Amino acid sequence: MSDRLSFRIALAVAILALFGAGIVSLVSYIKTQASEQANAQRTLRQLGLTVQRTATIATYLDNQEIADDAIQGLAENDLVAAITLTSVNGLNISYGDSSAHSASPASIISPGSPVRVRLISPFTPDEVVGELLIYPRQEQIDRNARAAALERAGLLGGYTLVIAMVVMFVIQWQFVPTLKQVAANLHGIRPGSNDRLSMPTSHAQDELGALVGDINQLLALAQENIESERQLRQQIESLERRFRLIFERASAGIFLIDSRGRLIMTNPAFIQIVGDSINSRIVMQDVDCLTEIFADPESVRSIVQRALNNEVVSAEDLRLAGLEEEPRWVHSLFSRIVDDAEGHPDGQHYVQGILTDITRRKREEQLMRFHAERDPLTQLHNRRSAERELSTMLSKSRAVEGCLAICLIDLDNFKPINDTHGHEAGDKVLVTVAARMQGILRSDDLAARLGGDEFLVAVLGQDCRQMIEAVARKLLDTLTQDIELENGTCVRVGASLGIALSGRGNEDIAQLLNLADQAMYRVKNRGKNSYHIYQPV
């Protein structure tokens, strides 16, 4: 490569030198020839002026001898081809062949045209007495001019060539070897390494030295960049490793679904939660995964849609699909992810889901709620829970344009049993009564123990009055039957039922309870073991 470089420099210099020498030679040739022509003309004119005096006298006198005298001298000169001396009185002397010149019209205006010397009378200043024409020997002049021009051009061209050669050798000896060395050094240097170019000693101050310095700076910069990039790559790698670890080892199930509901990616925890068989059926398949995963895919789909639209992260407890006896629950967190990395200029939208198995927590929660809402002895709703349930039922009755009937039940003759047979016997009575109540009621109806021997049932329907009256009759029938205690003795309780119906301005649970209570006391006062529906007065 370096050999080629030096060859090309030599070639370029040679071409330039030849070109320059050619131009210089050509210009010099043209100028020299022109100046030689002018010189010849001047010489001829000087010759003419030299003999002017004699020629004047010759023409003044028309004297042949003097004329010959004048012309003879001129004719000796080898630049002169022909001479014509004419006087106004008719003298005409020619020497040489002037016709060749005057015959050719081109030569009149060419350098070959004669030098004309006007001859003025020596005694009368204004009188022209004759004319001297000196015809140049044009081919001789041309030859001389050409020779001089050639010599001059040759000299100048040679001079230019010599200078060019010297310049070329200086370049070859001074510049090219250093450049070769720098190039070879640079070729051997691996970017990012500590190697640098050595400064050429004789070129430390010139452009070559500056070039080497700049290259070294670039090398240092490259090394710095490569080093920092390497560190960055390491950081990214370790970060990636950590993220992958988080993804792989997370206890939460992580998955990614695209905007069409297809499952793109899952982690091991997800597979564990959802189950291997379901996972392998839906992951990376063109199916709607939500149907397979969740028990209520429609609501999940709307959650996913919300996440896609609003970027609102929605956290929900969701039930998983599956035929297991005990329902399984997951806490789910959905959020939108916009992948605006390369290849997705528009930003592919995904929904990332995070699942936590909360089946156990859910179970405990339900258990806790059960304990909080139920009377521990009878498993019926307690007073607080009952009031809440009643509110729900009341608003539901309005929705179906029906009515709510509540019935307060106070056991008669319970306290003597408790006192006589003890608390356990009392408890037994209460549990039996509760079981009998539940036996009568449908699953939608409410049964609660408000406290002590006070109970409540409530029904809901289009014709709640008939329904509650049927219930009341059954209750009176069943509750009053014998109850066998642990020790084999049988006891019997009675019941006073007070009923209130919603509607007609009674739209408040507390008010309804109050009315039912009034109705119940009315029964108690009348002789118990019966029911009464509160009638507005």
Partner 1 sequence: MVKALTFMLALLMLSTNQACQAKVVVLVNPKNPIDKLSRAQVVDIYMGRFNNFPDGQPVSPLDQSPDSADRASFYQVRVGKTIAQVNAYWARLLFTGRVTPHRVLSDSVAVLNTVHLNKDSLAYVDSQVLDGKVKVVYRLKQGRAFQ
User: Which amino acid is located at 196 in the chain?
Assistant: R
User: Which amino acid is located at 73 in the chain?
Assistant: G
Q: Is residue 88 a contact point for partner 1 (CB under 8 A)? A: no
Looking at the Cβ atoms of 69 and 142, the one nearer to partner 1 is 69
Q: How many other CB atoms are found less than 10 A from the CB of residue 1?
A: 8
Looking at the Cβ atoms of 57 and 523, the one nearer to partner 1 is 57
Q: Is residue 296 a contact point for partner 1 (CB under 8 A)? A: no
Residue pair 328/320 in contact (Cβ under 8 Å)? The answer is: yes
- Interatomic CA distance for residues 98 and 353, integer angstroms: 119
- Interatomic CA distance for residues 381 and 460, integer angstroms: 17
Interface region with partner 1, contact rule CB under 8 A, candidates 58-66, 167-175, 387-395, 449-457: 58-66
Looking at the Cβ atoms of 62 and 142, the one nearer to partner 1 is 62
Question: CB 159 → partner 1: shortest distance, Å?
Answer: 53
Closest CA to 331 of 251, 225, 409: 251
Q: Is residue 120 a contact point for partner 1 (CB under 8 A)? A: no
Question: CB 77 → partner 1: shortest distance, Å?
Answer: 22
Q: Is residue 90 a contact point for partner 1 (CB under 8 A)? A: no
Per the structure block, which two tokens stand in for 161?
A: 């060539």
Interface region with partner 1, contact rule CB under 8 A, candidates 57-65, 260-268, 283-291, 412-420: 57-65
Among 123, 251, 323, 525, binds partner 1 (CB under 8 A): 123
Looking at the Cβ atoms of 88 and 308, the one nearer to partner 1 is 88
Q: Is residue 537 a contact point for partner 1 (CB under 8 A)? A: no
Per the structure block, which two tokens stand in for 148?
A: 């001089």
Strand ranges for 186-309 from DSSP E: 253-258, 263-266
Looking at the Cβ atoms of 43 and 121, the one nearer to partner 1 is 121
Q: Is residue 285 a contact point for partner 1 (CB under 8 A)? A: no
- Interatomic CA distance for residues 392 and 176, integer angstroms: 100
Per the structure block, which two tokens stand in for 162?
A: 């010599």
User: Which amino acid is located at 88 in the chain?
Assistant: V
- Interatomic CA distance for residues 350 and 269, integer angstroms: 20
Among 1, 3, 4, 65, binds partner 1 (CB under 8 A): 65
Show the site string, 170-199: x = touches partner 1 by CB under 8 A, - = not: ------------------------------
Closest CA to 472 of 452, 453, 445, 449: 445
Q: Is residue 508 a contact point for partner 1 (CB under 8 A)? A: no
**Binding residue count for partner 1, defined by CB under 8 A:** 11
Per the structure block, which two tokens stand in for 64?
A: 């042949």
Per the structure block, which two tokens stand in for 463?
A: 């014709």
Q: Is residue 490 a contact point for partner 1 (CB under 8 A)? A: no
Q: Is residue 61 a contact point for partner 1 (CB under 8 A)? A: yes
Residues that bind partner 1 (CB under 8 A): 57, 60-63, 65-66, 122-124, 127
